[in-house]
Amino acid sequence: MSGSSVMKPGKTIALSDYEGKAVLLNLWGSWCAPCRGEADELERLDRRTEDANIRFLGVNVRDNRRSAQDFMHNLDVTYPSVYDPDGKVALALDGLPLSTVPITLVLDDEHGVAAIFLGSVTAEKVMPEIRKVV
């Protein structure tokens, strides 16, 4: 799974960049109210776990780049996101109901799926799953 960075269009971000690390993968769109609602929570959780063996990665779906960049800038989202306007990256996540956004996955350090959350998440929901993989 790889794609162009939302904030740095010339840069490619790949899941393989996080080899040996657990990953919290969040599919989001700037047009998605629940995504806006969970952005601050995910950002705090990213900072809270920055010393753990987990990294956060977003996948922006069905969006235009400017709106996605504004979302990340205005909501102070600092972890990287892949720009995926056509859903090709998201389709690599076979079996997920892509009509449901946000979707959050917790991947173990071999990038196997440890947990899937459909809809917005809170630290209380996600942290137990993060603890299992770090």
User: Per-residue pLDDT tens for 104-129?
Assistant: 999 999 999 999 999 999 999 999 99
**Which pLDDT band, with edges at 50, 70 and 90, does 51 fall under?**
very high
Q: CB-based contacts of 115: which residues, under 8 Å, 6+ apart? A: 105, 106, 126, 129, 132
User: Per-residue pLDDT tens for 22-41?
Assistant: 999 999 999 999 999 999 99
What is the model's pLDDT at position 97?
80
What is the model's pLDDT at position 89?
83
pTM score, whole prediction: 0.95
User: Per-residue pLDDT tens for 53-103?
Assistant: 999 999 999 999 999 999 999 999 999 999 999 888 878 887 778 778 999
Cβ(82)–Cβ(57) below 8 Å: yes
What is the model's pLDDT at position 88?
84
Cβ(123)–Cβ(45) below 8 Å: yes
